[in-house]
């Protein structure tokens, strides 16, 4: 078995209409995307300490609201092991209730996992609230159409006088991220990167001089770790042909059909590249 793959998304795009904190509580009307993305980014960072790949199926700059269908497709094509979608809730309309909810799709096994995610997040943040159900079955697109266990976290309410001041804090974001990561580490039995060499299918006890590359390097381009935020410069940065025609070949090799170089298509390829999951041509 290869590395576990964790698919993550930060809910909506930055500009998605209506998704922001209630003005009477937060005069800045902080956007939901900002709150979601701050947590998703931190989850990704914390997971860097583990032997796993993180696949952002959204646009991490928030500029483009990647369609839900494309998010799902990217996760399914990469055969991700788990999918977590980070959101913040609304519907209290200035009331004082609130709290955390985790949505899942389907069966009792998923419900048990959703409960463990809820417990991990709330155990870390303490944001319990007054929801009658904390773990709820729902047919939300990304949890229904993904082929791996998938969960949608609503991490407190953007229109609750109790929740909103809390969810705006960096401390709450950090605790949420830590809760999500502790859930993922336990659920997928992730190993810390410095846990020694036992049992790792990619470890090489003799240290070097290996006669053949590990499978992963033959299958995927090396993960891009540089600072470029768009596809062509990132490809160039790892010495891969970044021309339009070659990007079209890369798209085809990665099940991205009908490549015409749209921003959304390039973002999907870019996110695979960052995750080390972009299949070679």
Residue 249: CB minimum distance to Zn ion, A:
35
Nearer to Zn ion, 4 or 20 (CB): 20
Q: How far is CA 164 from CA 21, 32, 70, 122, 218, in A?
A: 7, 11, 30, 16, 47
CA–CA separation, 155 vs 171, rounded Å?
13
Nearer to Zn ion, 11 or 179 (CB): 11
Nearer to Zn ion, 4 or 87 (CB): 87
Phi/psi at 262 (nearest 5 deg)?
A: -70, 160
CA–CA separation, 125 vs 46, rounded Å?
16
Q: Are 36 and 21 in contact (CB under 8 A)?
A: no
Nearer to Zn ion, 158 or 274 (CB): 158
Residue with tokens 């990007």: 247
Residue 11: CB minimum distance to Zn ion, A:
4
Residue 12: CB minimum distance to Zn ion, A:
6
Question: Strand (E) positions, the chain?
Answer: 4-9, 52-56, 82-89, 100-104, 135-137, 150-157
Q: Is 75 helix (H, G, I), strand (E, B) or coil?
A: helix
Nearer to Zn ion, 11 or 156 (CB): 11
Q: Which residue is nearest to Zn ion (CB)?
A: 87
Residue 199: CB minimum distance to Zn ion, A:
38
Strand partners, 103: 136, 152
Residue 251: CB minimum distance to Zn ion, A:
28
Positions that interact with Zn ion (CB under 5 A) = 11, 87
């Amino acid at each position: 078995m290869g590395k576990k793959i964790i698919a993550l998304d930060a809910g909506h795009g930055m500009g998605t209409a209506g998704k922001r904190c209630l003005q009477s509580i937060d005069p800045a009307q902080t956007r939901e995307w900002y709150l979601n993305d701050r947590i998703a980014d931190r989850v990704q960072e914390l997971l860097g300490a583990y032997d796993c790949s993180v696949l952002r199926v959204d646009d991490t700059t928030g500029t483009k609201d990647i369609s839900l269908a494309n998010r799902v497709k990217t996760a399914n094509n990469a055969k991700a092991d788990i999918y977590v979608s980070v959101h913040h809730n609304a519907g209290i309309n200035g009331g004082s209730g609130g709290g955390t909810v985790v949505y899942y799709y389907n069966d009792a096994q998923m419900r048990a996992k959703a409960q463990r995610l809820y417990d991990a997040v709330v155990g870390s943040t303490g944001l319990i609230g007054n929801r009658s159900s904390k773990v709820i079955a729902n047919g939300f697109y990304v949890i229904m159409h993904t082929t791996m266990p998938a969960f949608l976290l609503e991490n407190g309410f953007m229109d609750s006088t109790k929740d909103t001041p809390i969810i705006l804090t960096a401390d709450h974001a950090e605790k949420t991220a830590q809760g999500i990561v502790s859930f993922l580490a336990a659920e997928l039995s992730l190993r810390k990167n410095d846990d020694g060499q036992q049992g790792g299918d990619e470890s090489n006890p003799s240290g070097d001089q290996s006669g053949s590359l590990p499978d992963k390097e033959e299958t995927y381009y090396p993960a891009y770790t540089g600072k470029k935020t768009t596809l062509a410069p990132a490809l160039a940065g790892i010495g891969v042909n970044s021309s339009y025609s070659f990007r079209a070949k890369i798209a085809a090799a990665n099940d991205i059909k009908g490549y015409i170089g749209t921003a959304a298509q390039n973002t999907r390829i870019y996110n695979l590249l960052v995750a080390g999951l972009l299949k070679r041509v």
